[in-house]
Amino acid sequence: MITLPKLILASGSPRRSEIMNSVGWKFTKDVPDIDESELEDEDPATYVQRLAKEKAEAVAASHPGEIILAADTTVVINDQIIGKPIDLDDARRMIRMLSGNWHEVLTGIAVMKDTKVDVGLQRTRVKFVAMNDAEIEFLVGKGDPLDKAGAYAVQAQAALFIEGIEGDYWNVVGLPIGLVYQMVMKSEAS
């Protein structure tokens, strides 16, 4: 029998909370307030790992001796980060970019206890079918795109248009829970 140690989830994402709840992981939330701007010449993998680490560090001082879990997810197409859309027109633009193409979902994970931090990365490739204007409008109108990297939720309306996924499905939802488990258990063992 394994025991999942209680975590402090440094995230306001409802999807991350849902994933943690679905596997029975006990946690409390402490949402960090950090600057999520990209640095000049920063590649996407470095970007999501840096933000995950900064989110963990931002809440760690308030939780001495506790395990902090932080994550940051972004969508990358043609080496370009496409984060969360600023409005519905931006969401349409993003979905047009994804239509008919493969893209990558990257999540940086940070597991921190006191001053010790471990940072990891999960990559998943996703392909959308080619979508027509009506399908794009459906996804923008029904898919609640504004709080999601890449303007879509794989577990909701976007599922109608996903042709393939290579890698961790849960990463695309917002938290690669298998990687989280491995990292937390490794930190507990050390």
Q: What residues act catalytically?
A: 72
Task: Please give the structure tokens belonging to residue 10.
Answer: 């440094």
Task: Please give the structure tokens belonging to residue 180.
Answer: 């989280």
Longest CA–CA span in the chain (Å) reads 53
Q: For residue 71, give the nearest of 28, 124, 107, 35 by alpha carbon.
A: 107
Give the CA radius of gyration of the chain: 17
CB–CB of 184/7 below 8 Å?
A: yes
d(CA 74, CA 29): 21
